């Protein structure tokens, strides 16, 4: 019998996970049916549990219009709207360093469309860099199951090129040239802290 978490994900006992570690590079995303967000959340839970880093996804910003109070202790939101986030989705701390990033995926094989980012997110990233925070994006090419970490400083260049009338995406070759390929593991799934430690030596 296979067990599932309330969110529908399959439960895998820890001793099975351990045995499978050596073939971790062959995990198929399509088979697992995991999104990039799922994988990053599980990675962050692993970091938290192991005392490696404290990184959380920010809640989705909501504009609440109408709330019902059927009883003193409960509140039901009856009307609300999604707001555009003014920052990136993930932030936190590792070894005293401020960590801030956004994660996006594409089905393109040849380039990463810049419309995945909003202008105020780029503005936020620039401000984080000014404050000497570590700012980056995690980009996943979902069909090829390749994940890259790109420091925001590079992203700003591609963004400015688009604003100046240039291409609206980052070429795969450009990402391969400046980005850091993260190999997919099981525990943690996307070990971006390891990549950051190599880049920033902390």
Binding-site residue set for Mg(2+): 87, 89, 102, 121
C-alpha torsion angle, residues 42, 47, 51, 54 (rounded to 10):
-100
DSSP string over 149-160: EEEHHHHHHHHH
Q: How far is the CB of 132 from a second copy (least distance, A)?
A: 3
Residues 135-194 that bind a second copy (CB under 8 A): none
Task: Please pick, from the candidates 94, 114, 138, 149, the single residue that binds a second copy as defined by CB under 8 A.
Answer: 94
Residue of 5, 7, 15 lying closest to 186 (CA atoms): 15
Q: Centre a 10 Å sphere on the Cβ of residue 175 and count the other Cβ atoms it contains.
A: 20
Task: Please pick, from the candidates 53, 155, 186, 193, the single residue that binds a second copy as defined by CB under 8 A.
Answer: 53
Backbone angles phi, psi at 139, to 5 degrees: -115, 130
Tokens 């997919």, residue? Answer: 184
Query: Which helix (H) or strand (E) is 169 found in, with range?
Result: strand 169-171
Q: How far is the CB of 131 from a second copy (least distance, A)?
A: 5
Residues annotated within the binding site are 87, 89, 102, 121
89 or 105: CB nearest a second copy:
89
Contact 38, 29 (CB under 8 A): no
- Residues binding a second copy: number (CB under 8 A): 40
Contact 53, 202 (CB under 8 A): no
Task: Please tell me whether residue 58 binds a second copy under the rule CB under 8 A.
Answer: yes
Helix (H, G, I), strand (E, B) or coil at 60: coil
133 or 185: CB nearest a second copy:
133
Task: Please tell me whether residue 92 binds a second copy under the rule CB under 8 A.
Answer: yes
Task: Please pick, from the candidates 17, 18, 77, 163, the single residue that binds a second copy as defined by CB under 8 A.
Answer: 77
Chain positions contacting a second copy, by CB under 8 A: 48, 51, 53-54, 56, 58-62, 64, 75-83, 85-87, 91-100, 124, 127-128, 130-133
């Amino acid at each position: 019998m296979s067990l599932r978490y309330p969110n529908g994900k399959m439960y895998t006992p820890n001793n099975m996970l351990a045995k499978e570690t050596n073939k971790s590079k062959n995990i198929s995303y399509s088979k697992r049916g995991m999104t990039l967000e799922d994988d990053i959340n599980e990675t962050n839970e692993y970091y938290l549990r192991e005392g490696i880093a404290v990184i959380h996804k920010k809640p989705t910003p909501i504009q609440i219009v109408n709330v019902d109070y059927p009883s003193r202790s409960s509140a039901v939101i009856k009307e609300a709207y999604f707001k555009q986030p003014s920052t990136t989705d993930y932030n936190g701390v590792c070894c005293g360093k401020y960590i801030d990033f956004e994660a996006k995926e594409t089905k393109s094989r040849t380039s990463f469309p810049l419309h995945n980012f909003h202008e105020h997110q780029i503005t936020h990233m620039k401000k984080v860099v000014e404050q000497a925070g570590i700012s980056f994006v995690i980009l996943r090419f979902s069909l090829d199951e390749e994940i890259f970490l790109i420091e925001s400083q590079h992203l700003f260049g591609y963004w400015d090129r688009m604003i100046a009338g240039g291409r609206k995406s980052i070429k795969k070759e450009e990402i391969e040239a400046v980005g850091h390929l993260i190999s997919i593991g099981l525990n943690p799934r996307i070990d971006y802290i390891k990549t950051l430690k190599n880049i920033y030596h902390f």
